[in-house]
Structure 1
Amino acid sequence: MPLIRIIIFTIVLLFSPVTFSLAKQTPAAVVSPGIVINVPSRTLELYSADQLFKEYPVAVGKSTTPTPLGNYSIISKEVNPDWYPPDQNGRVVPSGPENPLGYRWLGIWSTTYGIHGTNAPWSIGSAVSNGCIRMYEPDVEELFELVDYGTPVKVTYDRVKVKIDNQGQAVVRIYPDIYHLGSIVTNADIRRQLGLYHLNGFVSNEILPKVIDESTDKAAVVARLFSVVINDQTLREKGIAVEGTRYIPISSIAEYLRMSITWDDPTKTIQVGTRSFPGVINGKIIYVSEANAEVLLDGYSVWHSEDNCWTFSKLAVHLNNKQIDLKVKKIDGALAVSAGALADILGYSSNWDLSKQIFLLIGKKEMRQVPIKLIGSEPYVYLTNINEFYNVHVYWNEPANTIELTYPAP
């Protein structure tokens, strides 16, 4: 609400021998604070070192007395401010329940516009003020302590916002043109916001028109971020679920596991040895689908829907108490190992006919056809079949993420 103020204490400060600060020190939790007020969404965002610290709902100016857009800063702070009604010259409304400024004032432009509390909390979330920014009283009192003189304040008019909610959902909101500026939301507007969260490579163009048509002042979920845990270590990079497919940050996993992968930009694929897999690159992070990640990695993964988390465990394989290098994959929910590599380790001869998909294990006295599953062109044998065909006792120590092989089987 516009305010005509008479700041008497400035004169006192100029002639007083005592130096003091009206504002408390900025808490360590907020570093280099900044404020962004977006009119269409009726929100105030507080940033700490360019990272979103907290978002508050606010009321903004109505279309006939709009909140002015532009760049400002905190130029005054006052506890228990008086109000000077602009249409009642000389009248003063002291601090109290009848004062529409509430109990805190943060001036951002001259003595006219500011951020303040309110005695009409039901107005928060609306465009109803004379141009000032109203906040719930507990919110403005909190903000008052977190910012100081000179804190930059930017007032914007962005009709599209993308936020990550506390469930990891990437939510697009398209807000109404409350000042009737004639702005039209386009695919490019949504793409620009999605780019802030590196989501453009995952959200198809087919989704965007539906978002524009159906989400005015409502939430449209376009993706979901989830945690990725490797051998009990949570990675900094999140996985991304879009349209029923989960994408895994394979480059981060490869770095953690010291795997070698190569990105081929012309074909949009990653190269692992002689194999290639389609991928998506966002910045420096390469993603592959969950199905391809399981093929690439030696181990097994589990999706924990209650925790919104994808976990992968790389298994160690021991033969007669000594660790061996043996590929382990999860196929159709069950663990399997490389049939040929296991034969070589145990000293068996083997014959693999890819065209007929027949794997023969050749012993000293007999030859057996081993039931296998293919990954690419490589045959794998389930752990449950190893004892019968290889004469090896198998124990999967799930808590320790180890497979214990004993040969020959007792």
Structure 2
Amino acid sequence: MKKIVIIVAAIILLFSLESGAQPQPPLPQYKIEIDIVSRSLYFYENNNVVKKYPIAVGKASTQTPIGDYKIINKVVNPYYSKKKIAGGSPQNPLGSRWMGFKPSYGIHGNNNTKSIGTFVSEGCVRMYDKDVKELYEKITVGVPVTVKYEPIKTERDIENDNPIVIVYPDYYSKVPNLVNLVDEKLSELSLIEKIDSNKLATLKKQINKEIVVFSDKWVYMINGNYITNDVIFKDSTLYINLDKVCKFLKIDVYSTESTETVMILSNNISIIEESGSRYVSINQLEANLGGSHKIHQEQQTIKLDLNYLLFNNKFVKGEVLNIEGDVAISLDSLYSISNKELTISQEKSNVIVNNKEIKCKPVNGKLYIALKDLLLQTNFKSNTYTKDKYIEIFREPL
């Protein structure tokens, strides 16, 4: 009998090989990482971060629990038992989705968008409601959740080089020797001897008062992302390495007949060259990209805050409103897209896209259209990145 079983198993194996049966690809492995100090949630697929989300976390008196957990339950339109508020109610502080990771603690939406990015909850993790819906659809019960509390972070530029140290306030008072640990990290990265001693002393005094950036040079950031420390100061003006900014924002740079200008986004802009690199002033960047810069003289940081749009993985000039909710894009963005992909015309305060009318909304003297309306009238798809403040519109490959 045993010989018969072995023979049958061998025949089945041989048949499956000859029939060309292919093994199924492994299912993607997901995990969630919650970083309390930066109020960020990272969604991983196969150990790669595929999305970052802004969050709100617990107050110092009602802290979000640190440790390793798993998603233990999922609920659509959760009931808020503390105040007996029905699921789906606009007054429900849990929003439209709940993903529990520990008894009484969960990741959920909320009815107060202004709370995102703060320490405000009773220990739960709040997300924009559109973000929590997106995350809810991607994960299942059992997905690992890691909650971290690490005020000292090392960041590298767009070339994965030139490390800096960013120190967040110890809001939960868990790191009494924070200044000493900063010194250790700076020494480990060989930065402590490079930073001017007066600057270093000033920066240390700012620890626990605000987010502090430790670097031996000026640092340029876009929406919190460290882009480069290749910054020069000339004629009372700050200039940034143009090619590194354009690499991050996915903007093509074209040479012109003059060595003093280049073309980006169909405009000639003035540059200066030093040691084979091209630099552009922050004023030129604002004029061509939009957004606004904030300069911290003591920390020597330049931070650009910018809502922007990518179309087919290329930067589109224009304005984007309400990243965290119902997104709207300006008509100049729409016209930039239409150069290649759409047939549009304007009629009074509305636009005609592919022979279909879309209503426009005036905001501060400019006209905008709802992204959802554009998607309805075209075969485009979109992705929203609320943490990095940009919208991605694309045509799916055939």
TM range, normalised to the smaller chain? 0.3 to 0.5
Q: Which has the larger radius of gyration?
A: 1
TM-score w.r.t. the length of structure 2 is 0.43
